[in-house]
Amino acid sequence: MPTLTDLPVPSFPPLRVKVTPEVHEYFRTRNIFQSRSLKGEAATHDTYIRRWREGDTLVIGKDAMVEEHTSFAAGHNIFSLGSFSDVASAFTPRTKIGRHCSIAPGTTIMGFRHPIEYAFCSTALYRDNREYIYSYLKEIQEREGPEANTYRALKVRQTFDDPIVIGNDVWIGDKAVIKGGITIGDGAVIAGHSVLTKSVPPYQIWGGNPARYIKDRFPADIQKGLQETRWWEIELSDLYHLSIEKPEDFINEILRNPGKFRTYKPKVYNIYEDLR
């Protein structure tokens, strides 16, 4: 059964929607949360936390699919997100995040790349909408005439809008910086304050600036077994009865009794279409 990370990356353009009481109710009744909470009853009408203010703008990725029991605990962008994922940082609308992911506060997407390979790398090369460039061009035309505007915007490859794909059971620590366009595999761990510029294979731990491979989270046979179980596609209540604290036993319990476990089938919402 395909999960969210198997689906195509949302394409542009995103949808912009003003937050209203009806929008809040849409998310509440679908168990899609706007904030972390220690309140077990937080899904009720009275206790549901409305982090977004009425009149705020949500930016919703085209074709972004969101499963129930998820938390967008930061930012105003809506992207593909799987059940039981707690995302406390803002990501771009073209992001895809699987199930059971834990993303700490303060993670950011790497911003503008300045072309250090050019003769000079000032934004004067390619950002004519900056206020100081606009004022300069306006001033020189007033002084020397319209023909004085010889501005030539150079193309500089940027990655901040490139899709980011994060698998299942990924943990990203506080204040990591992630380059657009990368993939983080199932079960990977990114240490806090890391600057991640490369894709990370499943079940590896990376950290540092720039982030580098530190070690595998598990031996190769355990990694292989966990991916074979695809445990994130199993009903969560069935998993609670297994030896989660002993990965090898956990794998054997699933692989030796494949018919014993129910497939998790959450409700999945195409928020772009629903709110359009």
User: CA torsion sign, 232 to 233 to 237 to 242?
Assistant: negative
**Any idea which residue has 């014993």 for tokens?**
260
Q: pLDDT value at position 41?
A: 66
Which residues are catalytic, by number? 114
Q: Give CA–CA dist 197/90, Å, rounded.
A: 18
Question: Could you give the domains of the chain?
Answer: 4-111+161-217+266-275 (2.160.10.10), 112-157 (no CATH)
Q: In angstroms, how far apart are the furthest CA atoms of the chain?
A: 81
- Closest of 220, 213, 235, 197 to residue 99, by C-alpha: 235
CA angle (23 as vertex; 19, 26 as ends), nearest 5: 160
Contacts from 135-140 at CB under 8 Å and sequence distance 24+?
none
Q: pLDDT value at position 132?
A: 87
The predicted model scores a pTM of 0.88
Alpha helices in 79-174 (DSSP H): 131-144
Q: Give CA–CA dist 70/98, Å, rounded.
A: 10
Residues comprising the chain, all counted: 276
Question: pLDDT truncated to tens, each residue of the chain (276 aa)?
Answer: 445 555 555 556 889 999 999 999 999 999 999 998 877 666 777 889 999 999 999 999 988 899 999 999 999 999 999 999 999 999 999 999 999 999 999 999 998 788 888 888 888 887 777 888 888 888 888 888 877 777 777 888 878 778 999 999 999 999 999 999 999 999 999 999 999 999 999 999 999 999 999 999 999 999 999 999 999 999 999 999 999 999 999 999 999 998 999 999 999 999 999 998
**Any idea which residue has 């706007």 for tokens?**
34
